[in-house]
Structure formats: structure tokens, C-alpha cells
Structure 1
């Protein structure tokens, strides 16, 4: 794996001036209502993320942290997707997604693993790869003409939480290809917390050559299997989350590094995820605190338990989730 992946040559950076050959044939939504136009362009983006053959470079910013990456995507003749994301600073970290299996390689440490997932976590929200219909009950979407991004005309899509209990998103979508060129995650008040900006983008008629051999790369072991997870032990659980959040996974485990015994609950609404950690208050020994940012955190001491809630949500929402934790009604 190491030799093959290390030999992948990403040519995007050298192709900044390549002219996009894609025809400007995307149907215009101007005759539709504003809401349906916004949904139309969101769905164009989700289709592009699944079906386009492309090479891109981008910068992901979160607070003062900047991460340059290369991003390649292609589709084999049998319809199987392949995606490669390479971080260019620091440790050599690469994500390879083939179909619904995503492998994360980290060198020189031996911490590579595979997850059953048809999206590459850490790049974009999973909901961006699906039609907007799943988000509609809890988010509203608006469209306007956007600024040029990487030299391309865009439409600007705003995804707004209906109750302001979640973060908002701004998306700049290429009018020609439907590709996402820029994303911002903001607080309801408009503060930018996280941004992804493509710096180069080249659409290809066929799969990028760099991806053609990845189908034969050995895959690292799966991180875990759901059936092997140990059930929660503390007998408490959150009784409130914003509407639309569903429980993905619940388990009892020890936190890496500290070995603190913890019940972990993972919830998602499709666009974002939130984790709830329940541990012994005396063993955790953290003060009550609230931190708002790209990954907000709220820690609450509740009886004999310490409740820690972490996620891409406003700290006030995490506080309400933490305060709702009580004995499991089941």
C-alpha cells in the first residue's frame, strides 16, 4: 500500500491554467421558485460529488489552523466510485474511498484502518452527498448569485437552521459542473468557524490516471464492528436533542490515552454529528466548562456523573443536551 499510494502523483497543482472542457449545459433554475432553485443547486452538487471525474487542490481552515489538501475523484466503468484525499502538511495522512469502504492511512505510524462508509469523513458533511429532501424538515435553503471562485461563476447556497440551534452553511457551487467550490460553516450570528476553499479544480472526461490502480491497493483492517461493541453501563442517556437527530451508535469503552471508562453515544441529523460522553465524575475530574468553535464542547457535572457533549453545534445547544441527561427511560 505505502509504495503504491506514495507513487500517486497529483497533477492538479501543475494544471491551474487548464481550461475546463465541461459544457455549460446545466439547466437554469431561474424559472423556478427561490426555494426550489436552491434545492435544485444543492442536488446538482450532491450529484457532482458522486459522479464527476476531477482533480482539485483545496485549503481547509478552522480557526488559525490551515490544512492544504489534494482531492481526486473518479468513477470506474462499472459505476464504482473512488476518491483520494491527501493532506499536504505534517504527517502523511491519506484517505481512500472505494465504493462504501473508506480507508485512512497514516505514516509513519501504524494506525491505518478501514470504515464502512460511502463518504470520506473529515472533508465534507455526509448530507452533501444526498438530496436536500432529507434535510428539509430542519433546515431551509436559499440561493443567490455568488462571487467567482477559482475563476468560475457560482451560485451561493445558504443552508439555515430553522430554529438556530445548529450551525449554518454557505456553499458556492459551480454553475457549469455543479461542483462545490467553497464552503463556510458559521454561527447563527454569522461568525465563520470553518471554511473549505478549492484553489484549483479540473474536471476530466474519464477517471484521473492517479486513481486507476487504487482498486487493487491492500486495505487496512476495519476499526471495529458494531456487533463487537460493549453496551453502555451507566444507565443514563440524553432525553433531548434537536429534532432530527438519530442515534447512530451507543457503546462503553475506555478513552484512548486516559483509559477513562466512558459511555459514548453518537447522534447525527445527516448534516452534523454530536457525541455524548458519560463517565464517573470523580475519575474525570474536569470543571464545568463551555467552549464554542468548529468543534464545540460542554462539560457538566451531574450527580455522580460527568457529562461531556462535543459536536459542530452552538455551545448553548450542547448545554441543553447535557442538562437533559438522566436515567434511561428504557
Structure 2
């Protein structure tokens, strides 16, 4: 996962999936190196993830299915609606409020998304609980916790910062999912069409999408586990497409004084992300999952590296993190809500597979990892 919006300076002592809100479930244990904004300025950073499966506030792990690489459009009407939805969520300008239901918690958020000739500007704002704000433009992804005076600034190309679904790798998913259309009902005052996405095996979750039948914007989504239970719901309570005049709305950065701290600096230099070496291999990954990316990243203010690999089937994705074991970790399964993780130790290295997929999938992925001779 590209960005982990974390506990931001507080050593987390409780495990599980990131909650509440802007989420990711892995942060490096221990004392985080911090920097004062007055000393170093607003450098871009990447809060590096690790096999420690921890419960931390963040914005990231809510959607693990924002993937790249459109291939071709299928004649399947359901797939065409999915493509229309993804295109609309990226390229239309809109604003609205939505609720996110997970683990018997209900969160309320607002979004303002502007797409024009200058690119994309977006703001996500929490409306209940701890104040949190995420601002994205063409260059930066900035995550702010005003109460705790913490800020994370990363590369805006990072995808998994929002609970709203945007799919790109559409043509590849039909091998592992069945898709069908159904008449929808009104959501947030808009007529909808339903796209039902059902997995063909027990290695993935299903999805049910309510798509605005007029402009293609996503109105509601249900994530459905292997037991056919709805484990997460995202639903707009109001959502409106913006006119050209409305697109002039400004999205400005809040004033950040010297009391705000940055955690785990990442400057964006070539030395920050290093191409993954061939030390680690996978003997038998779960059927249908291929490696989308792999990097070896130097952890800030240390000489340690973490290997990060993302695997996807075109819809679901999971990540594998490998790092030298510096803290005692408990091997085995861990989960919270829709997110499952599996941790094992190989030659004093911690290996964690984690994702919004069934437990059998992350376990199979972790158990397929092996260390090759240099």
C-alpha cells in the first residue's frame, strides 16, 4: 500500500485494522522520527508501512481496489457500467456527503472533487469523531490531524486514500468474477442501476454497486465477504455534479504552523524508493493474483529497508511487506472487519500479507514467500 496515514508519532499498542476513518492497518512499531515543519518545511513524506499489524487512525486502507491499466472494454453491459462509473469518479467534478459503515461503526465524511484543465483537486473531510482532512492535487497528498498537530505529505499518485471505489483494471476481472445488472432504487435522491460482482471462488470478496444511471457516479457500495455477509457499506446521503462555474471553488491548504510535526520523512528522491531485488520469491501465490508493483524502500532515519509488493487480480489487491525483524511479533492470523493479515518469520525477517480479502488468501500468499540464495 503506498501511503500509511498512521498513528503519527504515538507508539501504537493495539493491533488490528486501522480505525476510525482514514485507514491503513500497518505502521512501523517503535518511536517514529519526527520533524518540525518550521525546521524542514513541507517536504513530501511517505509513512512507511511494516508487518506490525496495528490499529491506527488513517485514511488509506478503506479501499484496496484502486488499480491501474485499462485494457479493453467488454461487451458485457455490467462491465461497461463499471467503466463508466470509474471514468465519472475520476473525471467529473462533484461534491457530497457520505457515510461509511464498518465494524458496527458509522463515520460521516464529505468530499469535494474538482477536475478541470489544471488537473485534479480533492478534499476529504471527516464530519464526526476526530478531525481529519485529506487534500490531494496534481503533486501532493496531504493528510492533516489538527487536534494532534500531525501532518503527512506524500505523492498524489498514491491511490488508496479514499473509501470511494474507482476501478481501472476492468477487462481482467471477468475471469474470476461474475457480473450482472439489476434495477436499482433511489440513493441520495438519484436513480441508480445495480452492478452485482460475485467471485467465482473463495479467495476474494464480492461487491454490489449502486451507480447513478444518469452520470455514472457511484452512489453506494457494499463489500460482501465469503460468507455472503455485508462487511462494509459506503453510501452517499447527498451527491451533486458541479457546473463549470462551481468548479472555481477553491481548495486551499489549512495554515500549518511550527507546532505541526511530520513523521517518517520521504523526500521523493530516487534513493527513497529502490527497485526491489530478487532476494525474495513466491512459490505459489493465490490463483489469479499477479504482482503489480515491487519496491525496496529505505526507512527514514535508519539503515533498514522494507520490501513492499502489491498483488492484484484486477479488482482485489493485497500487499506483502518484508523487513528485518527488530521487534517481537506474533506469527499467525490477524483481522479486523474486512481486512485480514497473516504474519510469519523467515530467517529473522517478518513477512506480512495483508488485504481486504478472505483470510485464506493472505495466508496462502504469506506461506508462498521464500528467501532465495543471493
TM-score by length of 2: 0.66
Decide whether aligned partners of structure 1 residues 329 and 43 sit closer, same or farther in structure 2, where only a CA change above 3 A counts: farther
Match of 2:79 in 1: 39
Decide whether aligned partners of structure 1 residues 99 and 231 sit closer, same or farther in structure 2, where only a CA change above 3 A counts: closer
Match of 1:114 in 2: 154
Q: CA deviation at 1:192?
A: 1.5
Match of 2:102 in 1: 62
Residue by residue over 1:228-272, the C-alpha shift from the partner in whole angstroms, topping out at 9 and shown as x without a partner, is 23677994443333324324233255699xx99673323142534
Partners of 2:111 and 2:345 in 1: CA distance: 42
Match of 1:276 in 2: 320
Contact 2:170 2:315 in 1 (8 A): no
> CA RMSD for the aligned pairs?
3.5
Q: CA deviation at 1:315?
A: 0.5
Residue by residue over 1:185-239, the C-alpha shift from the partner in whole angstroms, topping out at 9 and shown as x without a partner, is 1113211221111011122222636x63337889998664554236779944433
Partners of 1:310 and 1:131 in 2: CA distance: 20
Contact 2:97 2:109 in 1 (8 A): yes
Match of 1:99 in 2: 138
Greater relative contact order (Cα 8 A, min sep 6): structure 1 or 2?
2
Say whether residues 1:263 and 2:306 are aligned partners: yes
Contact 2:333 2:359 in 1 (8 A): no
Q: CA deviation at 1:156?
A: 0.9
Match of 2:251 in 1: 214
Decide whether aligned partners of structure 1 residues 306 and 99 sit closer, same or farther in structure 2, where only a CA change above 3 A counts: closer
| Larger CA deviation: 245-254 vs 106-115 | 245-254
Q: CA deviation at 1:137?
A: 4.2
Residue-pair matches, total: 291
Decide whether aligned partners of structure 1 residues 255 and 287 sit closer, same or farther in structure 2, where only a CA change above 3 A counts: farther
Choose from 208, 218, 222 the match for 1:184.
Answer: 222
Match of 1:163 in 2: 201
Match of 2:129 in 1: 90
Uncovered stretches (5+) of structure 1, i.e. residues with no partner: 1-33
TM-score by length of 1: 0.74
Contact 2:97 2:238 in 1 (8 A): yes
Residue by residue over 1:62-103, the C-alpha shift from the partner in whole angstroms, topping out at 9 and shown as x without a partner, is 212222100112222x26222211112233322222236433
Match of 2:235 in 1: 197
Uncovered stretches (5+) of structure 2, i.e. residues with no partner: 1-73, 257-261
Residue by residue over 1:18-73, the C-alpha shift from the partner in whole angstroms, topping out at 9 and shown as x without a partner, is xxxxxxxxxxxxxxxx9611012112211211232221100112212222100112
Residue by residue over 1:137-184, the C-alpha shift from the partner in whole angstroms, topping out at 9 and shown as x without a partner, is 443322111232123221111223343312111110011121100011
| Larger CA deviation: 59-68 vs 133-142 | 133-142
Say whether residues 1:51 and 2:94 are aligned partners: no
Partners of 2:145 and 2:326 in 1: CA distance: 35
Say whether residues 1:309 and 2:353 are aligned partners: yes
Match of 1:75 in 2: 115
